[in-house]
Chain A
């Protein structure tokens, strides 16, 4: 009996700008159920970080509780990690991000962790536009505790237990839009072609970036009557358009398809290209985004892709005018500026 991942990798794996193969971004072998959508999202995160040539030690991955919140063990094994209390990941990220603005903060959560116990934290971290990526692995149930309906389960959808869910669902993208999120996308664990560029774009966005990834729970919620099953999502997903992401350092070559409707230069200099395929969505307009979400919901479809983005986002550091340098890099003299400074401050308050 053996369950371990071999060390051998494909001999022709591409190297990124740091000279790393994808293997440098992998984690331990997953202990989730075979076929769990969450594992695919982990795979997409690995790919995105590799392709962006991120330094693993410059990333912090944080999560709450749930199968989804276990996944940070399965990717970015060389990055910082914090597995917090159920639903409390946002406040831990807030603290960490305020202290050290130099890390990339990747929050991973589930629909239970976010839309039930963590709803309050979720709302407030959005409101503050904390500079982080927030990925919800959304399976419409509490996978870890054996598949109870979660707050994102659609009304009428039935999991393995068989009873239709009597309550209306929380749409996390719509909620985030309402709360003032500056980057909102939805995707599907089974569509890496869409998910990977979205993760890359979210990572380059300055401010709060939500990706609500529908991620089937094969064990408890992949039934014929579930609206979060592989089959249902494949049949009902409608993309806002396709996304290409050109990292900052990469030259824009002709291999990128022409005809982009929008080309956005991100905060770090990378370029996001959007190709419109259908619909009237303007992803830079909140009202248009909200309309599109509701229209698709009314039709029983799932809108995926980039839903909204604020090109002029100002994150919490900008708003609070915090130190440009992480706190751990400040010298004693800066942290304790001395009596003269205290006198000045006191004087200014008289």
Chain B
């Protein structure tokens, strides 16, 4: 193998697994250390710059960082990264003074944002401090998009959402609410320098089954129903509720039903339990509220009597997987299962819909009627029109919408300066030694087994009586500290300088997880089998040095490195050093 180029910012970035997995590349270990130091406001601001909605995300994020967390390679559960973010948000001081200032004198460029969900709000936040004039149009009464209309208050209190939405709207954004944009052409005709479409994926999918016509009054699309609960148009539901679907929307529907009078609330899903799309913790929380899941049940028809919904029929199936893992659901041949119901919520998916975008504006649509959008610049085929969030590539989540917003803001800024949107600014990085003295590092390098701490919940009987009462109470400061201490500081990199190495083997001997080997070089597949411990996880890189005097190379498998620093402690010549790697995705701010 060629010597690893550690100057390539992506090399060490990848070692910080959580940050790498985060769509917005939040510097996770950096803020976790600040939480451990009880510097909550500082931790909050690091988050705010990266992910814009730390308080919201600390409760609701899909947390792709957690399955990636290195801790799961040596212990069962990852660091509770998401819940630590909430600790920062809950305990911070008033941070308004720290927010970027918005110039009174504008730069003369006008930008329109359609929709006021997390994607648009991120664009607004990134551009307003640069002097852009920002006009936002949204059909809801307040900003936040689906964070407001969909995510139930028992998961995300309105106060938390309002606070973070207002940090942005207070930057002198001209927001027009309660307005449905019906023509993109009309917007473009207002001579904006750029338009960002952040309208999400607002249309719920339904099932057109026999009996629907008669049952219509008691069958709802999940997302429409959740919005009408959020906007207080709906405040009750029948005693017997069937929720169709196995994703996060279904989980929110069933839990909300329990709070609005539902007594026999069931989730009925086509797929087996393991294949359900909902996040594991969402499933757990629903089950903890006593909601049963009926898996392998395919809805067949609405059963009505005299124009009244009585229930539904389901066909029982079994999942079979072919060699490629492709699933087919094969009926078991048993009798149809009947379930009684007063109301049915269909939570089987969402789609995009752009009836308001004229097809002669230079915006190309593909065969699925989705706009053609560049994955890096988020520009459409009309150079002035950008898409981001769920409107760009279909439904995702808040953090993805934020990441899209950052990139779109960069593109818009480049466009407005007459630069090429394809020429992206490089990330900002910094690498600095953490050595303070003998056995002393600037970070807490001691690593000990310590299972993940559970977030306490409010009592169930109270929760079911008040749909706005937040379920999770959050970590208190003491538990937050202990959970923060579980982080392995993966951003403190093991940096190897071959000219100093005397090949004494001290690092090989001390490394608790057998990461380091000195051996003759070879192709990667071959090297992976010849290391102190075989390096089977191909997604994790090998760090390879240049050739040493003995014609061997140092090979480090990054996979289970604990960042404990012992290799550097035991190195007599300082060939190993622990250096903190900061990686900040370029943005218009920061």
Q: Which residues of A does B touch, CB under 8 Å?
A: 1-13, 29-30, 33-37, 39-40, 42-43, 189-190, 192, 216, 218, 222, 230-231, 234
Instruction: Decide if B572 touches A33 in the complex (CB within 8 Å).
Output: yes
Which residues in A have their C-beta under 8 angstroms from that of B573?
35
Q: Is the CB of A1 within 8 A of B572?
A: no
Interface string of B505-536 (1 = CB under 8 A from A): 11011101111000000000000000001101
The answer to whether B449 and A7 touch across the interface, beta carbons within 8 angstroms, is yes
Pair B74/A11 contact, Cβ less than 8 Å: yes
**Are A1 and B512 in touch, CB under 8 angstroms?**
no
Q: Which residues of A contact B509 (CB under 8 A)?
A: 39-40, 42-43
Contacts of A216 in B (CB 8 A): 504
Interface residues of B (CB under 8 A from A): 73-75, 439-440, 444-449, 502-506, 508-510, 512-515, 533-534, 536, 549-550, 560, 562, 564, 566, 569-573
Would B503 and A230 count as touching, CB distance under 8 A?
A: yes
When distances are taken between beta carbons in the complex, the residues of chain A under 8 Å from B536 are: 12
Q: Which of A13, A34, A234 contacts B514, CB < 8 Å?
A: A13
Contact of A43 among B446, B508, B515, B564 (CB under 8 A): B508
B439 touches A3 (CB 8 A): yes
Query: Which residue on B lies nearest to A190, using beta carbons?
Result: B505
What CA separation (Å) do A218 and B509 show in the bound complex?
A: 16
> A34 contacts B570, CB within 8 Å?
yes
Query: Once the chains are docked, how many angstroms separate the CA of A238 from the CA of B447?
Result: 42
Asked if A9 contacts B570 (CB within 8 A), the reply is no
Q: A2-B439, A234-B549 are in contact. List 8 more A-B contacts (CB 8 A).
A: A2-B444, A6-B447, A7-B449, A8-B513, A9-B512, A10-B513, A30-B510, A36-B572
Query: In the assembly, what is the distance between CA of A190 and CA of B548, in Å?
Result: 14
Residue of A nearest to B444 (CB): A2
- Tell me the minimal C-beta distance from B49 to chain A in angstroms: 31
Task: Decide if A35 touches B512 in the complex (CB within 8 Å).
Answer: no
Q: Tell me which of B73, B439, B572 has the highest count of chain A C-beta atoms within 10 A of its own C-beta.
A: B572
Q: Determine if B446 and A2 form an interchain contact, defined as CB atoms under 8 angstroms apart.
A: yes
A234 CA / B518 CA spacing, docked (Å): 14
The verdict on A37 contacting B504 (CB below 8 Å), with A7-B449, A10-B533, A11-B560 known, is yes
Residues of A within 8 A of B74 (CB): 8, 11
Task: Tell me whether A230 and B533 are in contact (CB under 8 A).
Answer: no
Which residues of B have CB within 8 Å of A230?
502-504
Contacting residue for B506 out of A8, A13, A36, CB 8 A: A36
The residue that A8 contacts in the complex, of B444, B503, B534, B562, with Cβ under 8 A, is B562
Closest chain A CB from B425 CB (angstroms): 39
Q: Which residues of A contact B510 (CB under 8 A)?
A: 5, 29-30, 39
Whole-angstrom CA separation of A34 from B562 in the bound complex: 19
A234 to B510, CA, bound (A): 22
Cα A3 to Cα B446 with chains together (Å):
7
A37 neighbours in B (Cβ, 8 Å): 504
B572 partner residues in chain A, CB cutoff 8 A = 33-36, 218
* Residues on the B chain within 8 Å of A33, using CB: 572
CB < 8 Å: which of A5, A30, A39 contacts B512? A5
How far, in whole Å, are A216 and B573 apart by their CA atoms in the complex?
A: 14
- Among A2, A9, A30, A192, contact of B445 (Cβ-Cβ < 8 Å): A2
Determine how close the nearest CB of chain B comes to the CB of A339; give it in whole angstroms. 59
Most buried by B among A8, A33, A218: A8
Chain B residues in 8 Å Cβ range of A192: 505
Q: Are B550 and A234 in contact (CB under 8 A)?
A: yes
Closest B residue to A3 by beta carbon equals: B439
Cβ contacts under 8 Å, A222 to chain B: 502
Quick one: closest B residue to A1, CB to CB? B440
